[in-house]
Amino acid sequence: MAQFPALPFWTDAYLADTGHLTTLEHGAYLMLLMSMWRAGGELPNDDRRLARFAKLTTPQWQRIKDTIMEFMTVSSDGLTVSQGRLGDELQYVRDHSKKQAKNSRQRWRNCTATPGPVGQHPDHASDGSAANPMETLNRADAMGMPNASQTDAPTPNIVDTNVSTLSVPEGSETDKPARKRIIYPDDFEAAWQAFPTTPNMSKAEALPEWKRLSPEDRDMVLPSTVGYRAFLKANPAHPAIHFCRYLSKRRFEGFAAADTPVETEKTWLTRLGWARGKRQWPVHQWGPIPGQPGCRAPAELLQPGDGEDWQEARAA
């Protein structure tokens, strides 16, 4: 049996990222994830072995390899493959298991320790001689309670001072420090607003990928969302990928390179006139609303009040 038999499976995130896979690709991907979990987070980067893990023939694996490997990361030496989210979950389970074991040992020590004079170890006699192992064994039973037959003195009540184990479930929110509110950079916020996000997408998950980009790459992301939205509209069966994958796989490069309409002063005057009448602004086409970071409308064309209380016009 594997060290951790249960694999955490987040169905919302999985379906959001894999909606374009075929039934065969779903099965192969899930078999690889389960094998990777049992193997400790990595599999050998060998097509024949990956095909066996995926329960496919080598020709079948070759046909779907490119699609499946989009979800994987090849190690720097090229010898192994891993999956980022699975690696994070495995590390969390390992850390939690260590914490549980440490807490269990501490509770056992608290229960089995016999009260004695200050400064005296419970396993050593007061005259400095070594304790008799049998006496130590008989001092308390397996539950850490005093053996009443050893003395006529009243049996003391042992109170567990570890209140958290009695009144608060371990791992509850009271044990955790409050999470700090994430401050998102203005350029990231503008790109996020323009991207075709879904409720299943994690904004916080995309931020580390954004920070890994160079300033030049970041400048490409916002304009590329126009082409990406056009691509999705022309291919309705193709779901939007997570923003973090759009960044990590550098999908923005292809869409930023696509020809986009030239935005002239006349174009922006027409757009602003429409927006003032409707009090709406299609962020997915024109970028952030006036007054927000990353707004593409020329500042000299804006009027006082532009953007105030305007609603975002969603894509059809």
pLDDT of residue 52: 94
What is the residue whose two structure tokens read 């990590």? 248
pLDDT of residue 268: 87
Below-70 pLDDT ranges, the chain: 1-4, 113-179, 257-262, 314-316
- Taking the C-alpha atoms of residue 32 and residue 58, their distance in angstroms, rounded to an integer, is 14
- Strand 73-74's sheet: what is its strand order? 43-44, 80-82, 73-74
In 3D space, the residue among 35, 162, 52, 73 whose CA is nearest the CA of residue 111 turns out to be 162
Tokens describing residue 316: 């059809």
What confidence tens digit (pLDDT) does each residue in 295-310 have? 888 888 999 999 998 9
pLDDT of residue 163: 39
Burial of 292 (0-12, 13-18, 19+ CB in 10 A): middle
pLDDT of residue 126: 52
In 3D space, the residue among 272, 288, 308 whose CA is nearest the CA of residue 195 turns out to be 288
- Taking the C-alpha atoms of residue 82 and residue 67, their distance in angstroms, rounded to an integer, is 15
pLDDT of residue 312: 82
pLDDT of residue 138: 46
pLDDT of residue 265: 85
Contact 152, 160 (CB under 8 A): no
pLDDT of residue 129: 54
The predicted model scores a pTM of 0.37
What confidence tens digit (pLDDT) does each residue in 202-229 have? 888 899 999 999 998 998 898 888 888 8
- Taking the C-alpha atoms of residue 167 and residue 262, their distance in angstroms, rounded to an integer, is 65
In 3D space, the residue among 184, 182, 252, 261 whose CA is nearest the CA of residue 218 turns out to be 252
